[in-house]
Structure 1
Amino acid sequence: MNIENMEAFVYVIHFGSFNKAADALFLSQPSVSARIQSLERELDCKLFDRIGKQVQLTEEGKRFLPYAQQLLQTFQKGKQHVQQKKKLPDELRIGCTVSVANYILPQLLPPMKRKYPHIQFKLQTGVTDDLVNRVLNKEIDIGFVRNVNHPNLKSVKLIEDPIRLHVYEGHPFIGNGRLTIEAIGHEPLVFFECGALDWLRIHRIFESLNHPPQLEIQTDNSETAKKLVLQKVGICFLPGLCARQEVAEGKLYPIEFPETAGISMQTNVIALQGEFSEFLQAFAELGRERLAKP
């Protein structure tokens, strides 16, 4: 069945005349009449009664109308979907920090792949400054980085991940209601240093203690730091996402101090201004949905 004939039928009904339908379709009135006649031959029935310049639906036309409208809407939606897919890239190049690669993207990429099944996702890791430059140079399309501001970049907040002291199972800090921040100075400490500004606040807390912490090991890898805590080498300040599974399993325990409240590690997703906006929005929505869960 010719979709153009169906379109002419619906337009005549909507505008109330062949002439107005022809104007809306940028056709001549005889062309619209020809399309209606062709549709009537296909259906083997008369769709309109013509009374002078007025047209009126026949009973057959009234019965066919809802099906014609539905078919036309389905065609238009399908056309839009196909045209949208043509605009999407075949490959999306994503750059991210190591912590994002370990704890964030494994939660976000499966639903993104379901939403965009025809796109290949290519991942690369790096530090924030390097990733920003690679986005600006169009070497990658999307970047997951620390909070940055740049006039040529669109930056959307993905998650604010609280940083807390984590101790291993059986540690004396667990359940100690009289614990103060000074107690950290008497414990061996594994220090995860990510370079973000919020970590400077933790350094300042250390400087304010009467007994500075016993720094046993320093590392820039959160997974290494976490495993050292699990091995009871020391205790460590870690982002929540890093330790979420171990906390749920009772292997690690977060300890709250007023002095460290509000310290967090923010992750943003960035792209060049005016580019890949659909993906920035999709990642941000998934972040709110999946990363905020305890």
Structure 2
Amino acid sequence: MNIDNIEAFVYINHYGSFNKAADVLYISQPTVTARIQSLERELDCKVFDRLGKQISLTDKGRQFLPFAQQILQVYQTGKHQIQSKGLVPNELRIGSTVSVSNYVMPQLLPQLLKEYPHINIKLITAPTDYLIEKLQSKEIDLAFIRKVVNPAIQAFPFCEDPISLYVYKGHPLVQKGSALIQDIVEETLVFFECGSLDWMRLHRVFESMERPPNIVYQVDNLETAKKLVLQKAGICFLPALSVQEEVEAGALIRVDIAETAGISLRTSLISLNGENGGFVQTLLELGAGYLKI
């Protein structure tokens, strides 16, 4: 069975179009069509139904898809291992979101350099969508992002950063240690808004309240939000990694809210399928060693 045919099948299913799959694979649309026709002859069945420009998997196509994805991933991993065995690049280009750059990289990168003392590390900070584009164009080697679903990209869970309510020293809620969401209705709330699905879960909690919270400050920068709380301008839901130093110093105190328990920022480490496996494994091991909240 031809691996190129399987690759075309997986990509067409993901992008929902022969043309888009051709663009990503840097081949012509007729070549993609020919590969699918060849695959259908090998399988002795149709894998796609075509209605004009619309395509969908047939029942047989849906049955074959998970096996095709597994075959493609194993092939790409094996190919990379053969081609890169014993070779370590001179430069490692890492992309990360702002919060990861601020609160994870300063501890992680020196540890990575101890494992690979002869490489130079280049860090690029950008939003998730931009980093995915840079990874696909091979302008970066790895990236730390929120979430991705793409057949060309491997995603590894890296860490979960719990989101909790933090108040300043001396705030009345400190004595309680825990509270219900309704207890903060009268409080001045600082809200960090980054647009991710994780933060949207907080919005849903707010929508369930009889009275909405008093959001006086809505900011798009974690450091700004944190400093407003330190200046006693309000209280705020913040990820734990961003306030580790302030909590250890006693300047900020976590207050457990029952309705928001379990909400966290999930960060994944991503790479192109089969590439930079050694670096990925090292980073996952380092992350497991110190990201304990």
Normalized against structure 2, the TM-score is what?
Answer: 0.69
Distance in 1 between residues matched to 2:263 and 2:194, nearest whole Å: 13
Structure 1 runs of 4+ aligned residues shifted over 6 Å read none
Question: Which gives a bigger RCO, structure 1 or 2 (Cα 8 Å, sep 6+)?
Answer: 2
Residue 121 of structure 1 aligns with an amino acid whose one-letter code is I
Aligned residue pairs, count: 211
Distance in 2 between residues matched to 1:230 and 1:286, nearest whole Å: 31
Q: Does structure 2 retain, via aligned residues, the 8 Å contact 1:95–1:144?
A: yes
CA distance change for structure 1 residues 155 and 242 in 2, over 3 Å: closer, same or farther?
same
C-alpha displacement of 1:150:
1.3
Match of 2:207 in 1: 207
SS in 2 for 1:175: helix
Distance in 2 between residues matched to 1:143 and 1:108, nearest whole Å: 13
1:162 aligns with 2:162: yes
Normalized against structure 1, the TM-score is what?
Answer: 0.69
Matched ranges for 1:123-202 at <5 A: 123-176=123-176, 179-202=179-202
Q: Does structure 2 retain, via aligned residues, the 8 Å contact 1:201–1:263?
A: yes
Match of 2:267 in 1: 267
Distance in 1 between residues matched to 2:110 and 2:158, nearest whole Å: 17
Q: Deviations over 1:25-84 (max 9, x none)?
A: xxxxxxxxxxxxxxxxxxxxxxxxxxxxxxxxxxxxxxxxxxxxxxxxxxxxxxxxxxx8
Q: Deviations over 1:150-175 (max 9, x none)?
A: 11111111101110011111111112
C-alpha displacement of 1:225:
0.8
CA distance change for structure 1 residues 85 and 119 in 2, over 3 Å: closer, same or farther?
farther
C-alpha displacement of 1:86:
5.7
Match of 2:117 in 1: 117
C-alpha displacement of 1:176:
1.7
Distance in 2 between residues matched to 1:252 and 1:132, nearest whole Å: 35
Which structure 1 residue ranges, 5 or more long, are not aligned? 1-83
Match of 2:89 in 1: 89
SS in 1 for 2:173: coil
Match of 1:289 in 2: 289
SS in 2 for 1:139: coil
C-alpha displacement of 1:177:
6.1
Match of 2:18 in 1: none
Distance in 2 between residues matched to 1:126 and 1:120, nearest whole Å: 20
Distance in 1 between residues matched to 2:191 and 2:108, nearest whole Å: 28
SS in 1 for 2:179: coil
Q: Does structure 1 retain, via aligned residues, the 8 Å contact 2:179–2:256?
A: no
Is the radius of gyration larger for structure 1 or structure 2? 1
C-alpha displacement of 1:85:
8.9
SS in 2 for 1:256: strand
Distance in 2 between residues matched to 1:96 and 1:178, nearest whole Å: 33
Q: Does structure 2 retain, via aligned residues, the 8 Å contact 1:186–1:211?
A: no
C-alpha displacement of 1:196:
1.9
SS in 1 for 2:176: coil
Identity of aligned residues (%): 52
Match of 1:237 in 2: 237
